[in-house]
Homo-oligomer: A and B are copies of this chain.
Amino acid sequence: MEEFVKQTFLYDFYGELLTKRQRQVYESVVLEDYSLSEVAQELGISRQGVFDMIKRCNKTLEEYEKKLHLVEKFLHIRRKVHQIHLLTEKYGAEDIAKISNEILEEL
């Protein structure tokens, strides 16, 4: 998986376990693609400080995943629901297609 996609998943699942300040920095740099310098300037800390925060956030998020494996579990289920979605076509099963689509949007 692409590093960015992985980070986004981990943040989606465990982001609420970071501090408010960590979330703020993480969202700016990783999700909204602001540069380290821009975020550093806004927060009045060094560029290195921002870099270290992101690194620590990634480590924390990865540690949660290492313990709980919930992203892995979700992605596995997502693949299976996607298989179901593809199979509905041959049956013209629109009701199943609709539900599987809802699940994919939520996962």
A residues with CB within 8 A of B: 13-14, 16-17, 64, 67-68, 70, 73, 76-77, 80-81, 83-84, 87-88, 91, 93, 95-96, 99-100, 102-103, 106-107
Contacts and interface: CB of A to CB of B under 8 A. Distances in A.
A81 B106 contact: no
A103 B77 contact: yes
B68 A84 contact: no
B107 A84 contact: no
A94 B26 CA distance: 45
A67 B19 CA distance: 12
21 contacts: A13-B70, A14-B68, A16-B68, A17-B67, A17-B68, A73-B106, A77-B77, A77-B103, A77-B106, A80-B99, A80-B102, A81-B81, A81-B103, A84-B96, A84-B99, A84-B100, A88-B96, A91-B93, A93-B93, A93-B96, A96-B96
